[in-house]
């Protein structure tokens, strides 16, 4: 649709009416609910629109906001594909999304309120194991939590925490602010360039480039060597039983203690020094294996 040209002047306000293509019909601007805006005197059209978009009178904004947050935490939208309901893909839980939108409006669009409510639900706290008959097609029923891949940003930050990375460079430059295109030359930027955003977070896919980068890329090599990771160096020098060293590694990387079978398998490997007969290198190998494990890279 084309904007009907107007004579520009000091009080010129664009975008308040349009001409229907190939006709002489002029249509005044209205909100999506059919109501006409109250422009006021010389009011900025964009401000009027922005105020309505985030207004409780907008029947779409609260539902969209609630659904996006739901999709972020559950990996599956209540409108799948998100915000595009149709006869083949109807709203699976209309009462639920209406209730979430209503509560969001009542709490003045407080995201923290809705986040707290979502993570305390039984649906969110379910295991990914779930019923034996559950399949990927059943995720929209929320019988179990889907196994979701971490975002590239989450993977990088998690590796940074697990390896005590001191330079958590975010690519910030006062000349560019937080522009993501200005961070390509930072460690974080180079890492994120290797990973694409997943369209469906419950269906994790890893490219060959990403797998190779995680297995033997420069960044991972540096983070799993004693020369670049003080935690590995400290573990190697620590005068403690091997089992306690493994517990420290598991808590730091996987946030849990090792299982009995893991201790039985990994302790002899470290004590023998692995293929190189070098205890430090064996600790590096275990560190690398834990960082590349599905438990570290996936959620639930």
Residue 50 shares a structural domain with residue 108? no
Residue 101 shares a structural domain with residue 223? no
Residue 227 shares a structural domain with residue 190? yes
pLDDT value for 184: 60
DSSP collapsed to 3 states, the chain? CEECCCCCCCCCCCCCEEECCCCCCEEECCCCCCCCCCCCCCCCHHHHHHHHHCCCCCCCHHHHHHHHHHHHHHCCCCCCCCCCCCCCCCCCCHHHHHHHHHHHHHCCCCHHHHHHHHHCCCCCCCCCCCCCCCCHHHHHHCCCCCCEECCHHHHHHHHHHHCCCCCCCCCCECCCECCHHHCCCCHHHHHHCCCCCCCCCCCCCCCHHHHHHHHHCHHHHHHCCCCCCHHHHHHHHCCCCHHHHHHHHHHHHHCCCCCHHHHHHHHHHHHHCHHHCCHHHHHHHHHHHHHCCHHHHEEC
| Structural domain boundaries enclosing 166 | 148-300
Residue 32 shares a structural domain with residue 69? no
User: pLDDT for 23-70, tens place per residue?
Assistant: 888 888 887 777 777 777 656 778 888 888 888 888 788 988 999 899
pLDDT value for 242: 92
The residue from 141, 170, 205 where one domain ends is 141
Q: What is the pTM (predicted TM-score) of this model? A: 0.67
Residues of the chain with pLDDT under 70: 1-15, 41-43, 80-90, 130-139, 167-185, 196-207, 300
User: pLDDT for 102-135, tens place per residue?
Assistant: 999 999 999 999 999 999 999 888 887 755 545 5
pLDDT value for 173: 46
pLDDT value for 293: 92
From CA 90, how far away is CA 68, in angstroms rounded?
Answer: 16
pLDDT value for 107: 93
Token match 């996936």: residue?
298
What total of structural domains would you count in the chain? Answer: 3
pLDDT value for 248: 93
Residue 124 shares a structural domain with residue 154? no
Residue 263 shares a structural domain with residue 183? yes
């Amino acid at each position: 649709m084309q904007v009907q040209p107007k004579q520009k002047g000091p009080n010129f306000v664009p975008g308040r009416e349009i001409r229907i293509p190939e006709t002489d019909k002029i249509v005044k601007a209205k909100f999506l609910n059919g109501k006409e805006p109250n422009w006021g005197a010389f009011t900025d059209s964009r401000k009027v629109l922005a105020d309505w978009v985030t207004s409780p009178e907008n029947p779409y904004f609260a539902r969209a906001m609630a659904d996006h947050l739901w999709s972020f935490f559950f990996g599956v939208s209540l409108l799948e594909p998100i915000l595009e309901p149709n006869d083949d893909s109807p709203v699976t839980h209309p009462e639920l999304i209406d209730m979430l939108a209503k509560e969001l409006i009542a709490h003045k669009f407080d995201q923290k309120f809705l986040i707290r409510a979502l993570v305390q639900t039984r649906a969110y706290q379910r295991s990914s194991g779930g019923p034996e008959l559950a399949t990927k097609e059943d995720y929209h029923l929320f019988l179990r939590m889907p196994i979701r891949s971490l975002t590239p940003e989450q993977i990088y930050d998690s590796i940074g925490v697990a390896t005590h990375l001191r330079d958590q460079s975010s690519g910030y430059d006062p000349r560019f602010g937080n522009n993501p295109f200005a961070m390509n030359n930072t460690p974080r930027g180079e890492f994120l360039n290797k990973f694409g955003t997943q369209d469906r977070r419950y269906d994790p896919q890893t490219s060959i480039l990403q797998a190779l980068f995680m297995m033997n890329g420069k960044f991972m090599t540096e983070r799993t060597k004693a020369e670049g990771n003080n935690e590995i160096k400290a573990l190697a020098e620590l005068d403690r039983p091997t089992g306690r060293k493994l517990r420290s590694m598991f808590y730091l990387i996987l946030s849990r203690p090792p299982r009995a079978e893991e201790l039985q398998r990994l302790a002899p490997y470290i004590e023998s020094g692995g293929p190189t007969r070098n205890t430090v290198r064996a600790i590096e190998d275990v560190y690398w294996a834990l960082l590349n494990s599905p438990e570290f890279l996936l959620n639930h």
